[in-house]
Amino acid sequence: YRHNLACGDVEGKFDILFNRVRAIQKKSGNFDLLLCVGNFFGSTPDAEWEEYKTGIKKAPIQTYVLGANNQETVKYFQDADGCELAENITYLGRKGIFTGSSGLQIVYLSGTESLNEPVPGYNFSPKDVSSLRTMLCTTSQFKGVDILLTSPWPKYVGNFGNSSGEVDTKKCGSALASSLAMGLKPRYHFAALEKTYYERLPYRNHIVLQENAQHATRFIALANVGNPEKKKYLYAFSIVPMKLMDAAELVKQPPDVTENPYRKSGQEASIGKQIPAPVEESACQFFFDLNEKQGRKRSSTGRDSKSSPHPKQPRKPPQPPGPCWFCLASPEVEKHLVVSIGTHCYLALAKGGLSDDHVLILPIGHYQSVVELSAEVVEEVEKYKATLRQFFKSRGKRCVVFERNYKSHHLQLQVIPVPVSCCATDDIKDAFITQAQEQQIELLEIPEHSDIKQIAQPGTAYFYVELDTGEKLFHRIKKNFPLQFGREVLASEAILNIPGKSDWRQCQISKEDEETLARRFRKDFEPYDFTLDD
């Protein structure tokens, strides 16, 4: 079981909230996460927040918060993709999926509903909701998610349920949030903004006698922190991640389960109308042929299609919320730079690379960082790393791998070969540490066998280097970080001695030259490329 806390509108009362959490943890032991919905910041002066922001005070638990619901608090949430606001306090972002270290899947949608374009920074639109639905619901294996976080209540949530008190759920709340809850089938859905506590009876997600049993959903609305009426604002719950549960256990129906509040002939139409249906896409569209000359189409499993007429369709990888330069399925990808394609990852030459053989390992699906990768993707990333080490070793080079999870949307693992004649591994390590110190960056050595997932929570910004000996250096990005830091160190006189090349934009070459380099790399790498083994 994972023990978590959910909280309603904090409205800037951070001390009251965190003191309460400390008291609960003292009594009941530690919780994994605190999830805050509604207004995290209030219209009160910021003196209290400054103490957390500057580190004088610290949240006693990993805290994840939704973004602004009004113009006056937009200023606190500068980065639409989420960022660390203070130690242990992370803004999740405008919308997306966050997977906890235990495998708990949490979908979040910040702001309140707006049907007007352009959408202000504190609202979400029908497009946002349909893109979240498309990201998740288009696979046949999709069963639901563990937790859904929205600030507004979903409209109609009181239908068929126990009384919601003063709140009239036919008039108040967001129909888009209802549509999202209907599609995502969360096991828990938390909301706030109405300054009251309402725990709805659990409702079912399947149509009785027409569909197989599915798990029930519990909707819980929370009051505001420190409210004088002592309405409940903090809710403790224990949950085993869905993907670790036995199917029969998961679909057990609670005795007080009700009909689905959003499924009603008249309203179904009103909820459905605002949401374009998600488009089904074939999972095979990501794989284009790199080996025209051998005249064989690689199926998505990386085997020869002649031998298996029905390649097993892999699970559809996560989709980006908008255009992405690195999703293999997306039109923005510069396909001529791709040099090898596996089942879950691919290899591409870096644009404006530090050298002709500077490559990137990228996941095919839209993952933001190594921390978020599923096990089978991690396995293939490791396979690519090992293969590249071998390949570069045969050419008298050792490779340095680094990742910057900061102001980036799609994971890029940079793999840069350094000629053995240039310097020893220790020199590379020293250069990273020295140049980090000069820029007040705390680069820590972490145990070789430690998994980065144990160190960084999803959503945390970080920079990470791995040397050919397996030694690893890690920096948790608190606020700002020089975007080209990894390149600057490797380009410096201590290592490759090409200081002019620290910015990739200075190193761009023509598309023809890129094609030539990619062809050459493919040919050299072919004997090592495990994706070509039949």
Q: Report the alpha-carbon angle 411-387-350, nearest 5.
A: 40
Class of domain 335-532: alpha beta
**Alpha-helix residue ranges (DSSP H) falling in 164-218:** 175-184
Q: What share of the chain is helix, strand, coil (3-state, %, to 5)?
A: 30, 20, 50
Q: What is the DSSP letter of 305?
A: T
Determine the pLDDT at residue 155. Answer: 94
Cis omega before residue 154 (within 30°)? Answer: no
Q: Would you tell me how many other CB atoms lie within 10 Å of the CB of residue 396?
A: 10
The residue count of the chain comes to: 534
User: What residue spans define the domains of the chain?
Assistant: 2-251, 335-532
Residue 396 near residue 346 (C-beta atoms within 8 A): no
Backbone angles phi, psi at 521, to 5 degrees: -65, -45
**Radius of gyration (C-alpha) of the chain in whole angstroms:** 25
Q: Which of 277, 335, 368 has the alpha carbon at shortest distance from 522?
A: 335
End-to-end Cα, the chain, rounded Å: 42
Amino acid at residue number 496? L
Q: What is the DSSP letter of 31?
A: -
Spatial distance between the Cα atoms of 388 and 398, rounded to a whole number of angstroms: 9
Determine the pLDDT at residue 463. Answer: 93
pTM beyond cutoff 0.75: no
Determine the pLDDT at residue 316. Answer: 61
In 15-78, which ranges are E strands? 33-36, 62-65
Residue 123 near residue 113 (C-beta atoms within 8 A): yes
* Residue where the block lists tokens 């390590």: 429
Class of domain 2-251: alpha beta
Spatial distance between the Cα atoms of 50 and 91, rounded to a whole number of angstroms: 16
Residue 135 near residue 97 (C-beta atoms within 8 A): yes
Residue 191 near residue 154 (C-beta atoms within 8 A): yes
Q: Which of 207, 167, 160, 214 has the alpha carbon at shortest distance from 191?
A: 167
Three-class SS state of 232? coil
How far, rounded to the nearest angstrom, does the alpha carbon of residue 137 sit from its chain's CA centroid? 16
Each residue's pLDDT expressed in tens, for the chain with a length of 534 residues: 779 999 999 999 999 999 999 999 999 889 999 999 999 999 877 889 999 999 999 999 999 999 999 999 999 998 888 889 999 999 999 999 988 777 899 999 999 999 887 888 899 999 999 888 887 877 777 899 999 999 999 999 999 899 999 999 999 999 999 999 999 999 999 999 999 999 999 999 998 878 889 999 999 999 999 999 999 999 999 999 998 899 899 999 998 899 999 986 334 434 444 433 333 222 222 323 333 333 222 333 333 333 333 444 445 667 776 677 787 777 777 888 999 988 889 999 998 899 999 999 999 888 888 888 888 888 999 999 999 999 999 999 999 999 998 888 888 999 999 999 988 889 999 999 999 989 988 888 887 777 777 777 777 889 999 998 888 899 988 888 888 999 999 999 889 988 888 788 778 888 899 999 999 999 999 999 988 875
Backbone angles phi, psi at 96, to 5 degrees: 155, -165
